[in-house]
Structure formats: structure tokens, C-alpha cells
Amino acid sequence: MRVALFLTCVNDTLYPDTGRAVVRLLTRLGVDVDFPMAQTCCGQAHYNTGYRHEAEPLARHFAEVFGGYDAVVTPSGSCGAMVREMYPRMGERARAEGRGDALARTLAPVVPTTYELTEFLVDVLGVTDVGATYPHTVTYHPTCHGLRALGLGDRPRRLLQAVRGLELVELPGADECCGFGGTFAVKNADVSAAMGADKVRNAASTGAEVLCAADNSCLMHIGGTMTRLNSGMRPVHLAEILASTEEEPAV
């Protein structure tokens, strides 16, 4: 099986540790993962802000870069949802605009082969115990696009529950959005900040050391709010927890 890592532009630029964690985790599980250097961005920010036509070349680029792989794994629920849910919709819209089937045909191959990390682990590799050790108290925030667009369900929790030393505590109001929402975070900064502060308060009420999620863009917003509010907690991507072992613990 040819497996590619689609790291996402945000992770590549700001969160390389998450990328290294995915590589370490998949390698440990016997997957030979490739990182095609031509990859850039799925176009989600363009699409969701109302620039669908600007997103189209990026979607085509994604399909060119990742078209030859059997599986494309991404540690981001929202970027995964972009490919799986929005790429078909972009093809349909192009067709409705009288531009034919070209876009739909170009994008179609990568739609079923793109997996969010926890889907790939649980559904494709069939593992929930990835052999990780992480001796910390953790609360889990299911990000909106992972939860509602991809329907990740209890996959992330099952993976976390199998981690040795990890104590998982329930997050009150877990299903509620953290307030990031891409450009929403700056276009409606007051409302976004209020949502973020409520999320951080709920997280702090659990007494956990770590708030875990499977999407660094949400964690960037939650983490930035945490340090501003001096909550004493830290945000950690799920991949970094799953990559952590006794020999090579995550910090």
C-alpha cells in the first residue's frame, strides 16, 4: 500500500512536531509513509471564506500530488473534510455552472483515498492500541469537522483509552465549537474569543494537564487563549500522544 502524508500547510509551517509524530507513529505500525514535497494546501480557507474559484486550482493541485497513492493520511479533521466533503461539491458546482465534468473527474480519485489520521488507524490498519505511553491526565476536544462532517465518532477516544499511563477525563460541553472557524476567528473576533474562553474554562474545570484534539488549527486558537488566560494547561495534538512511547516520550 502506497501511503502519503498530507500534513496540511498549517502543520507544515507551524507544527512540524505533529508531522514528525505522524511519521514516527505510522513507521512504528509498519506503514511506509511518503511525504510528497509538492504538497501545499487543500484550499479550505479559500473555499470557506467564499473564494471557491481560487480554491479550485489548489484542489486540482492536491489531486495531482496525491492521485497516485492508495491512501492519503492527514492529521486534520477539517482538511480531511475539505477533501472528502467539499471536493465532490466543488465538482458538482462546476458542472452546474456549465463547465463540464473536468473538475469532478480530476478530484474524484482522491476523495475515497483520503483519511483523517484516526480513521486510518482504526478503519484501515484496524488498531486501537498503537503501543503508546503517555503518563498524563488528558481531556479530549472533538473538533467540529471531525465530529460532524467526517463522523469520527469514538475513534479518537478509543485510541486514547488504549494509551498506557493516560488518564482520560471527560470535557464538559465537548461537542461545542471552540470558536476558531478559520477566518471567523478574525472576522468575528469578539464572538470567537468568547467561545474560546468558554472552551478553555470547561477544559480547566476537568483538572487535566493536557487538552488533546486532532486538529492543530483549533488547537492554535485554544492554546493561544489558554496562555492568554494563564489556564496552566497545554494543547497537544492527538498524533503526538499516540507517537509517544516509554523510550521516546513526548514532552
DSSP per-residue codes, 71-89: EEEES-HHHHHIIIIIHHH
Q: Are 76 and 11 in contact (CB under 8 A)?
A: yes
| CB-nearer residue toward other proteins: 51 or 105 | 51
**Among the residue ranges 108-116, 124-132, 158-166, 219-227, the one whose residues contact other proteins (CB under 8 A):** 219-227
Q: Which of 95, 148, 158, 234 binds other proteins (CB under 8 A)?
A: 148
- 184 contacts other proteins (rule: CB under 8 A): yes
Residues 6+ apart with CB under 8 A from 32: 3
Q: In the complex, what is the shortest distance from the CB of residue 180 to other proteins, in angstroms, rounded to a whole number?
A: 7
- 77 contacts other proteins (rule: CB under 8 A): no
Residue 164's CB is within 10 A of a number of other CB atoms, namely: 13
**Among the residue ranges 113-121, 163-171, 181-189, 207-215, the one whose residues contact other proteins (CB under 8 A):** 181-189
Q: Which of 6, 15, 87, 115 binds other proteins (CB under 8 A)?
A: 15
- 26 contacts other proteins (rule: CB under 8 A): no
Considering only residues 116 through 145, tell me which ones interact with other proteins, judged by CB under 8 A: 144-145
Kindly list the distances between the CA atom of residue 8 and the CA atoms of 39, 75, 79, 137, 228, in Å, as whole numbers in the listed order: 8, 8, 7, 28, 26
Which residues are bridge partners to 4 per DSSP?
A: 34, 72
- 190 contacts other proteins (rule: CB under 8 A): yes
Residue 39's CB is within 10 A of a number of other CB atoms, namely: 20
Q: In the complex, what is the shortest distance from the CB of residue 3 to other proteins, in angstroms, rounded to a whole number?
A: 13
